[in-house]
Structure 1
Amino acid sequence: MLIRQLPVDQALAINQGIALDTGPNPAARPFSLGKVDAATRSRALECLTSAVYYEAGQESTDGQRAVAQVVLNRVRHPAFPASVCGVVYEGSTRATGCQFTFTCDGSLSRGPALDAWRRAKSVAEAALAGYVYKPVGNATHYHADYVVPYWASTLTKNAVIGAHIFYRWAGDWGRSTAFSQDYSHREANVDALRAAALLAEQRDIATRGQSSEVAEAVAEIPGAQALAPSMRGDKRVAIRFNMTARKAADEAKHTDYVEQVKASDNLRWSLNGGMAAADEKPFGKAATQSPSATGTASGSPE
């Protein structure tokens, strides 16, 4: 989740300036795990409880219900995985980033507080049993009010619950009819998902600050921003350019290489792709023509 780096007061002001949609905000349909075995049900509950706890542990019960509703809304939307754990841990091992911050920022390495975990688990159990938190409607995205994600202005802001702002897709993808994906009735092993996420976090910590020389080099390029380290295991650095870079490139003064160095006439001629003058005499002896050179090229063979 890419965010604009802004002071908190400025971020709060920008978020308040984004109008809350005043149109219809229909509630989501009740979610049901259906006929699944005990292991699948336990895994779904574990993943949803983790999302509620780590994402909204300090929020009110309504604030936690809102986060749980977003997770389950995603499970039923074709843009996301069709399982609870798949939604919660989506992107947690990718260099492009996770969908839920707690799966890739080291939060999982901290053991939960027992009482707070029980409260989050109670909210998750109710949501998996069909409880619908109506105020967020079909929201599939949210963020804290002190950050400004790049995507915020492209979605429809449809609820503010506690310190979180909720959004649904604009257009048809945000309508109730779009939430047609069937639940997979399968959940991945939670211990494996957690371990993979923690290993990915350790990898990122080890490579995040690749070197001060790289950082300084990137900083000197107008409009350049270094992206997350490559997962290929090499030392290549991915760079993203914004409009500042394009403007700088357009306005940059170009000086030919031959003007930057003290090049000889021969080197200048070679670099400029020069052609010999029509009256320039070749070096060496004149070429002698072979007898066949005087024949024609159009006759038929004898």
Structure 2
Amino acid sequence: MTQAIALATSRLWRERPKEMLLAGGVAFAAFVAAGTAYSTPDLASLSGRNDPTKVGPPAPPPLLIKELPPEQALAINKQIPLTQGPNPAAQPFSLNKSDTAARDRALECLTSAIYYEAGSQDADGERAVAQVVLNRVRHPAFPASVCGVVYEGSTRPTGCQFTFTCDGSLMRQPDQAGWDRARTVAAAALNGFVYAPVGTATHYHADYVVPYWAETLSKNAVVGAHIFYRWAGSWGRPAAFTQAYSRSEPNAGALRSAAIMAEQRDRATRSINGEEAQAIAEIPGAEAIKLEPSMRGDKRVAVRFNLTARKASDSVKHEAYVEKVKASDNLRFALTGGEPQADEKPLGQPAAPAPASGGSAQ
């Protein structure tokens, strides 16, 4: 049977080579399609069948806040229910195999996040923030380093992930006692301490604000003044936290400086868009130029003028300053250097009275 098939195939190849090539191409395409259909499923389809079409982690949303008064925000946040079911704790994080430079930078960045984000809360509030940072380091939706997570988005117009990196907080000098307390919490977290109540949370916000994404994630904990969330579905479960730590950290000081410069630039831009922009808009042909803040951090505004400004300047009726301010005769003389007016009184000592004419009446 096999020999007969081989002879028939050989005869067809000699007599109809084009048809044989076409049949081979169809067979190869069918083989590739079959292989694709039975390829290894992605993490989303393995760990959660609710969204099998997702092939990559979701992008972390910026912390855009709804414009609501604090009392209304508190009421809305209370109405969002806690997720029912298990809330498994994260796995311990350790920097044992990292070099000294990476360890120091990670400690610096994590301490900053704890101090500026939760420095006014108790130890549990600080531990909860530290846990979220380390949860992000292990999640494929975020950078694989501590400093990368903390300063993510701090120089982008789309917004930062941790508000202290883009709201001017870094300009505030920390008090030593609070910094030391935050550093102790950060060191414990980097050495394997796990704050279990927040589970695998990767997001949080203060209870007096309402982010636009609040109802799209799973609310799984409330610690102090912060509300914590994890990704809904498979991306928020322990099986999704597969990212390996990079074992290297970017320069913490450089990241801090870049964040401060970006915040100052945005502040200057916002100012240009305010009163200065209105004043410039009222000048014909004037255009604002965006400048980087000076080395001292103060705001700089530059204006350039186009041909419209020149035409407007030529058409303006000139009015002398002394006329505009209704200057006195003395001021006119001092400003222009011209001759005094005819009725101007002499300066200095008064003139001697004129002698009387004629004698007295007899």
1:208 Cα deviation after fit: 1.2
1:26 aligns with 2:88: yes
Structure of higher RCO (CA pairs closer than 8 Å, 6+ residues apart): 1
One-letter code aligned to 2:99: D
Partner of 2:231: 169
One-letter code aligned to 1:88: V
Equivalent-residue separation in structure 1 for 2:111 and 2:150 (angstroms): 10
Equivalent-residue separation in structure 2 for 1:113 and 1:36 (angstroms): 29
RMSD: 1.7
Partner of 2:313: none
Gaps of 5+ in 1: 217-228, 232-302
Check the 8 A contact 1:34/1:185 in 2, yes or no. Answer: no
Partner of 2:203: 141
Offset from partner CA, 1:62-82 (integer Å, 9 cap, x none) = 010000000000000000000
One-letter code aligned to 1:146: Y
1:206 aligns with 2:261: no
Q: 2:252 aligns with which of 186, 190, 201?
A: 190
Q: 1:91 aligns with which of 133, 142, 153?
A: 153
Equivalent-residue separation in structure 1 for 2:264 and 2:125 (angstroms): 30
Partner of 1:53: 115
Offset from partner CA, 1:22-42 (integer Å, 9 cap, x none) = 210000000112411111100
* Aligned partner of residue 272 in structure 2, secondary structure: coil
* Aligned partner of residue 121 in structure 2, secondary structure: coil
Distance 1:47 1:212, change over 3 A: closer
Distance 1:119 1:189, change over 3 A: same
Equivalent-residue separation in structure 1 for 2:248 and 2:222 (angstroms): 32
One-letter code aligned to 2:256: R
Distance 1:60 1:207, change over 3 A: same
Instruction: Give the greater-gyration-radius structure (CA).
Output: 2
Check the 8 A contact 1:27/1:138 in 2, yes or no. Answer: yes
Equivalent-residue separation in structure 2 for 1:211 and 1:57 (angstroms): 33
| Length-normalised TM-score, structure 2 | 0.59
1:211 Cα deviation after fit: 3.0
One-letter code aligned to 2:88: P
Equivalent-residue separation in structure 1 for 2:150 and 2:223 (angstroms): 20
One-letter code aligned to 2:195: Y
Offset from partner CA, 1:74-106 (integer Å, 9 cap, x none) = 000000000000000000000111000000111
1:114 Cα deviation after fit: 0.2
Partner of 1:128: 190
1:213 Cα deviation after fit: 8.2
Partner of 1:67: 129
Name the stretch that deviates more: 206-215 or 82-91.
206-215
Equivalent-residue separation in structure 2 for 1:210 and 1:110 (angstroms): 24
Identity of aligned residues (%): 72
Offset from partner CA, 1:253-286 (integer Å, 9 cap, x none) = xxxxxxxxxxxxxxxxxxxxxxxxxxxxxxxxxx
